[in-house]
A and B are shown apart, each in its own frame.
Chain A
Amino acid sequence: MKGLPPVLITAIVLVAGFALCAMQFPNIASTRVVGNLLTDNAFLGIVATGMTFVIISGGIDLSVGSVIGFTTVFVALAIERWGVPPLVAFVAILALSAAFGGAMGAVIHVFDLPPFIVTLAGMFLARGASFLLSTESVPITAPVYSTVSDFALRMPGGGRLTAIAIIMLVIVIGGALLLHLTRFGANVYALGGSRATASLMGVAVGKMTVKIYMLSSLLAGIAGIVFSFYTSAGYSLSAVGVELDTIAAVVIGGTLLTGGQGSVIGTFLGVLIQGLIQTYINFDGTLSSWWTKIATGVLLFAFIALQQGLVALARRPAAKRAGAAT
C-alpha cells in the first residue's frame, strides 16, 4: 500500500545525483570533496535535525537562522570583548537559546497561537538583539578556535573529517535515536498526527510543545557555535535565510510539512542533496550560484508533489474499505 518510503526515494535521488556528478567530474567521488561537503553543511545539518522534530510535531520554527546569527555574535563578544572563557560562553548561550525556544513553545501552547507567527516574532527578536549587540563582524582569535579548526581525522584518500563535521554527525545520530527509539520521539509523532488524539492518549501536549521548540532552539544554538568555528567570527547578518534552506532540506528528506511523518536520516540526506547541488555548481564554474536556488525549488516541488501522490494513494484504499464497511 505504501510503496517506497520517502526516505528511500531521497536516498536514491542522492545516490543517482552523486553518480551523475561523478560521471561528469570524476574528482567529486573523493573523500576530500565529501569531507568538505560535510564541513560546509555542518551547521545546516544540526539545525535541520531540530527542525525535523518541530515539523513532525506539526509546527514550524522560523527563528533558527536568527538564533544562529545571535549565537555567533554573542559568543564572539563574550570571548573577545568581555573576556569570558569560551566554554562558559558556550554554556551560557546554549542555556539562553534553550530558554528562548522554550518561551516560544510556551506562548504557542498557552495562547493557542499559530507557530508560524510566533516564531516569526522570535526571528525578528533574535535578529534585532544580535544587531543591538554589534553590527560589525567580530573576529574570534581564542586559541580554542584554532585548535578545533585544525583538528581533523584523516580519511583514506586524503580527505579530512573536521571537528565540526564530527559534531554534526554525532548530533544527527543522536537526533535519530531520540526520535525513533524514545518515548519523547513517539510523542512527537503523536502530536503531529493529531493534537487532540495525542492529548486524549495522555501525552502532556503543553510540556511536549515547550520541549520541542526548546530542542530546536538549542540545536540552533549549537549550530551557531559550529558556525562561529567555521568562520572564526561573529556577525549579526550571518545565517540570514537559513530557516528556508533548513525547511527545504527537511521537506526533501521526506518529512511531511503537515506533521506526523518523517525521519532525521531523511533530513540528513536532504542536507547532503543541497550540498551536492552547491558542490556541482562550484565544480562546473560556469553556472551561477542562483541556479542553486532554482534547483532547490525544482527539487522541493518534485518531492512535495511526490508526497502528495503517496498520501493520496494511501488514502484511497482506506476510503474504499470505509465504503465497504457501511
Chain B
Amino acid sequence: MTALLPRRGLAQILALIVILAVDRIVSPQFFDLRLQDGRLFGSLIDVLNRGTPVALLSLGMVLVIATRGIDLSVGAVMAISGAIAASLADSHGLPIVLAAALGAGLICGLWNGFLVAVLGMQPIVATLILMVAGRGIAQLITEGRIVTFSSPDLVWLGNGAVLGLPMPIAIALGMLILTGAVVRGSALGLLIEATGGNARASELAGVGTRAMILAVYVWCGICAALAGVIAAADIMGADANNAGLWLELDAILAVVIGGTSLFGGRFSLVLAVLGALIIQTMNTGILLSGYPPEFNLLVKAVVVMTVLLLQSPKFSGIAGIAARLRRSKA
C-alpha cells in the first residue's frame, strides 16, 4: 500500500499489456510515435487523447464509489458544462468560460451531494434525477441547437499541445497528480475509505462523513465539467444530445476494472485511470483491426463479466477450494 501502485494493480497492468500486444498484432504501426509541429502523434497518443474524458470522469467517480456511492449524472454534467463553455466561448475570455463551466459542475455536484449526504437518498436514485433532467437543462442552454464556436483559446484546450503532449492528456495528468496529492497526501483518502467501509462506525469515530460525501460528489461534478469542456473544445461545439452520452457507464466500468469495489472502501486513483485506458485501448484496437465498431459493446460486456467474476469473493472462494483439493491430492 505504500507504493503508488499497490500489488493488486498487477492484474490491470497485465491486462493492459495483453491488449496493447493484441493491438500491436492487428496494427504493426501501433507503437510508432513522431513529433510534428511540437506535438506527438501516433496511435498510443491517440489512445491517451481519446481516453481523457473517461479518465477524468473516473477520477471523480472512484472517490464517489469509495464512499459506497455512485454518480450517474456525470454524462449529463458534461453536456451542461460543454453547453455553457460553447455558448460563452466567443464572447468571453477563457478564464470566465472555464470558471462558468466548472462552476456549473460544482453546483451539480453540490446538488447530488446534498441529496445523498443531507437528505439521505440512495445515490443511484439521487443522481438519476440529474441524469434525466441534466440533458434537458443542457438543451435549454443551447436552445436545442448544436452550438459551435471559434474562440482560439478554447480550441487550444482541446487541440493544443504542451511539451509535445496534447492538451487534454496534460490536463488529465495534472488532475490525476492534483487529486492524488490532495487525497493521498493527507488523511482525506483514508477518511473517504472509512466512510465507504462503514459510514456509521466512521461517524461514531469522529469522521465527518457528511462532509466527506458532499466533497466527493462536488469533486466528481468538477471533474465531469472539465471533461465536458475538453469534449466541447475537441469538436469546437456542444451537442447537448450526445455530449458525454453513456460515458457515466464507461466511467463506472473503468473504476470497477480498476479494482475498486462498488460496495465502497479501498480505492485506487491510478488504477481507475488505468481502467479508463484499458477501455480506450480496447476501443482503438477494435477500430484498427477493421472489425465493425459494433463489436465494441460485445467485447466490453465480456471484459466486464471477466473482471467482475475475478473480483467476486465467491469466485475466488471456488478457485481457493480447487487449489486446496489439488494440494491435498499431491
Contact = CB atoms under 8 A, between A and B. Distances in A.
Interface in B264-308: 292, 294-301, 304-305, 308
A73 to B, nearest CB: 12
A292 B136 contact: yes
Nearest to B312: A111
Contacts of B126: 304
B125 interface: yes
B132 interface: yes
B313 interface: yes
B159 to A, nearest CB: 29
A84 B249 CA distance: 36
A138 to B, nearest CB: 15
Interface string A236-259: 000000001001100100000110
B67 to A, nearest CB: 15
A114 B262 contact: yes
A175 interface: no
Interface stretch (A4-12, A124-132, A141-149, A152-160): A124-132
B120 interface: yes
A117 B136 contact: no
A interface bracket (residues with beta carbon within 8 Å of B): 35 or more
B322 interface: no
B256 interface: yes
Interface string B112-151: 0000000111101110111111111101100010000000
A116 B126 CA distance: 15
B46 to A, nearest CB: 23
A308 B136 contact: no
A298 interface: yes
Interface in B83-135: 119-122, 124-126, 128-135
B203 to A, nearest CB: 17
Contacts of A251: 125, 128
Contacts of B301: 121-122, 124-125, 128
Contact of A132 (B136, B249, B252, B294): B294
B134 to A, nearest CB: 8
A113 B262 CA distance: 9
B294 A128 contact: yes
Given A125-B301, A251-B125, A117 B294 contact: no
Contacts of A125: 297-298, 301
A60 B134 CA distance: 22
Contacts of B140: 290, 294
Contacts of A123: 249
| Most chain A C-beta atoms within 10 Å of own C-beta, residue among B249, B305, B312, B314 | B305
Contacts of B256: 117
A300 B129 contact: yes
B153 to A, nearest CB: 29
Contacts of A121: 301, 304-305, 308
Nearest to A132: B294
B239 to A, nearest CB: 13
Contacts of A128: 294-301
Contacts of B31: none
A293 interface: yes
Given A125-B301, A296-B133, A132 B263 contact: no
Nearest to A311: B120
A62 B292 CA distance: 25
A117 B262 contact: yes
Given A125-B297, A132-B295, A304 B136 contact: no
Contacts of B136: 290-294, 297
Given A121-B304, A305-B119, A112 B312 contact: yes
B122 to A, nearest CB: 6
A283 interface: no
A112 B304 contact: no
Interface string B34-71: 00000000000000000000000000000000000010
A281 B125 CA distance: 25
A301 interface: yes
Given A290-B140, A305-B119, A248 B128 contact: yes
B309 interface: yes
Contacts of A296: 132-133
A135 interface: yes
B312 A257 contact: no
A128 B294 CA distance: 6
A308 B115 CA distance: 11
Interface in A277-320: 288, 290-294, 296-298, 300-301, 304-305, 308
Contacts of B294: 128, 131-132, 135
Interface in B229-270: 240, 249, 252-253, 256, 262-263
19 contacts: A110-B314, A113-B312, A117-B262, A118-B305, A120-B249, A120-B253, A121-B304, A124-B298, A129-B298, A132-B295, A135-B292, A244-B132, A251-B128, A290-B140, A294-B136, A296-B133, A304-B121, A304-B129, A308-B120
Give 8 closest A-B pairs by Cβ, nearest first. A297-B133, A128-B297, A293-B136, A131-B294, A128-B298, A290-B139, A125-B301, A124-B301
